[in-house]
Amino acid sequence: MLPICREKQVQLSRQYQQGTLAHAILIQGIEGSGKDALAAWLIELLICQQPLSSPNAADLDTISQACGQCKSCLLRKSTTYPDYLLLRSENKTLGVDDIRRGNAFLEKTAHLGKTKTILIPQAQIMTVAAANALLKTLEEPTANSYIVLVTDDIDSLLPTIISRCSVYSIRPMVGAGLLAQLKISTFDDSVILSDSSFNKESNENDFVNLSQLAELTDEAIYQEFQTFNKNFLDYLYSGQSENILLSQLIENSHGLRWLEKITSNLVRKHYLNKGSDLGSPLTVSQGGTVNKNMASGNDISVHLLNQVYLAIINSNKLIKSYIQANRQLVSEQLLMTINTIVRP
């Protein structure tokens, strides 16, 4: 489990030991934050008949762990433990029938242990009807039962669901501290999304966060990002590579996040450039190096870049808010909007 989860693990262990653990627990964090591992640890602990405790080196508290040897633990490992239910959907959404199955499961008496547990690993894909079906169970919980929900997009959940859960948000470190904690080194001499000339004035490590875990740890994804970065800059400054960029946006799950990151970095570099102001243009070379003084027709003011950034954010919200949103249509409209902004 990642060190950034340790604080929540200690907190949950304390509540488990004191018998004050909430009936419904919501663990939220971005992809790669370790939230799934934390949820799995908690489920295993709740299932175990003979839990163990070990001291936490950074705290006086102890961390509880499943023993891994009792009958319940062995059945869990073989996925035949009868008092645990995993509510996962093969579809894009988790429907009302899935939640009703979970509600019926909790109403039955436990077969082996004293508790019954349900894990919902992608709570954000619940339909409104499913969320409302779950709501009654959260409001009137059955005895000795626990529901653990996991999400990377808490804003997609109904406020009534969130209010009835004990929420544990994993807030990872950022910048050089995160890279050191994850023991990550980048794949070349520059930091992701940075260039050597810019690094002379500002440490791009300061802006690294866990949302970049994929390209920070997987060289193939990093190379995909480099290609994506070039295609986006080609389109942004010269209107080229549109079809290739559109294809990448549709097929690559990281596409919208990469658009957001690249654009925010362009804006950031503008403001960190000494003597810059809101209306002055920002130019970029084919390699992605920002150069305010470069003699080129490809000038875009930071004011326009901010408009591009807002358009990207709105498209991202649309994709997240509507599970069945047409990604191709959203991507096409976004590129058209960007083109209208920079080439009115």
Mean pLDDT score of the chain:
80
Q: Are 135 and 162 in contact (CB under 8 A)?
A: no
**Rounded distance between C-alpha atoms, residue 336 and residue 344, angstroms:** 11
DSSP-assigned states of every residue in 238-254: HS--HHHHHHHHHH-TT
Find, among 167, 165, 98, the residue nearest to 133 by Cα.
98
Find, among 59, 21, 71, the residue nearest to 42 by Cα.
21
**Rounded distance between C-alpha atoms, residue 179 and residue 214, angstroms:** 13
Neighbours of 124 (CB within 10 A): 19
Predicted confidence at residue 200, as pLDDT, reads 39
Predicted confidence at residue 344, as pLDDT, reads 84
Q: Are 130 and 100 in contact (CB under 8 A)?
A: no
Across the range 297-314, mean pLDDT stands at: 84
53-108: per-residue pLDDT in tens? 876 655 567 899 999 999 999 999 999 999 999 998 877 789 999 999 999 999 98
In a 3-state reduction of DSSP, which class is residue 182?
A: helix
Max Cα-Cα span within the chain: 75
Q: What is the Cβ-side half-sphere exposure of residue 259, based on CA atoms within 13 angstroms?
A: 28
Predicted confidence at residue 301, as pLDDT, reads 87
Predicted confidence at residue 208, as pLDDT, reads 62
Fill in the DSSP letter of residue 94.
Answer: B
Q: How would residue 173 be classed by pLDDT, with cut points 50, 70 and 90?
A: low
Across the range 29-33, mean pLDDT stands at: 78
Write out the residue limits of the CATH 3.40.50.300 domain(s) in the chain. 3-169
Neighbours of 110 (CB within 10 A): 16
CA dihedral sign, ordered 236, 238, 239, 240: negative
Whether domain 3-169 has CATH 1.10.10.10: the reply is no
For residue 331, what are the CA distances in angstroms to 58, 240, 262, 296?
Answer: 46, 16, 16, 28
Predicted confidence at residue 5, as pLDDT, reads 85
Predicted confidence at residue 39, as pLDDT, reads 96
| Residue 333 confidence (pLDDT) above 50 | yes
Share of the chain above pLDDT 70, in %: 76
244-302: per-residue pLDDT in tens? 999 999 998 889 889 998 998 888 877 776 444 444 444 444 334 444 333 333 578 88
| Sequence letter at residue 313 | I
